[in-house]
């Protein structure tokens, strides 16, 4: 199963910590929307959108990217880090997903370090977030969400699935193919 996470991370890059942790454990494609303005996401079965929260929502670039490039009829999830807790920061992106007939299979948010950008006089709130527990929570969330789409494996699972005899079997098949060609 092909999975992509489109993300935007600024200031303290707290959401980038979550995205990189997921990428290290699972086979995913990452797209930084500040560097990539367009993408064909239709080849992916599971699509994530990730951002820090600013002004009660995802950053403008990620919201615009989702509105322009989210394909129809896909499974979608959201990741975010926020300086404060609020019931739902994903409202705008959920609207986009609904409009495109996509199924939102999950949302994960945790505390994130607030930066010093804009007119904030007192930044640096939640300095040590996301912490290890919150990063582990994001990994568990992703594992659960990816189970909703068939054939998703972690990089560790790929290594476990390969058995020594698999290599021998492949070598035998190659030898047989060579003989058949002669």
pLDDT tens digits along 25-61: 998 999 999 999 889 999 999 999 999 998 888 999 9
Residues 168-172, mean pLDDT to the nearest whole number: 47
Q: Give which of 6, 2, 142 is closest to 64, Cα–Cα.
A: 6
- Position with higher pLDDT, 72 vs 156: 72
Length of the chain counted residue by residue: 182
Predicted structure pTM score: 0.77
């Amino acid at each position: 199963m092909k999975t992509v996470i489109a993300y935007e991370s600024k200031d303290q890059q707290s959401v980038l910590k979550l995205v990189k942790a997921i990428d290290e454990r699972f086979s995913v494609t990452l797209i930084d929307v500040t560097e990539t303005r367009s993408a064909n996401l239709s080849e992916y079965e599971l699509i994530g959108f990730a951002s820090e929260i600013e002004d009660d929502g995802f950053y403008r670039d990620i919201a615009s990217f989702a509105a322009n490039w989210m394909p129809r009829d896909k499974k979608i999830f959201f990741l975010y880090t926020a300086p404060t807790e609020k019931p739902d920061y994903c409202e705008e992106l959920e609207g986009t997903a609904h409009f495109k007939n996509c199924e939102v299979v999950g949302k994960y948010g945790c505390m994130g370090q607030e930066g010093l950008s804009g007119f904030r006089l007192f930044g640096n709130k939640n300095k040590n977030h996301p912490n290890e527990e919150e990063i582990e929570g994001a990994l568990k969330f992703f594992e659960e969400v990816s189970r909703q789409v068939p054939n998703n494996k972690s990089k560790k699972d790929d290594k476990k699935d390969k058995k020594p005899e698999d290599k021998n079997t492949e070598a035998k098949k190659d030898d047989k193919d060579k003989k058949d060609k002669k």
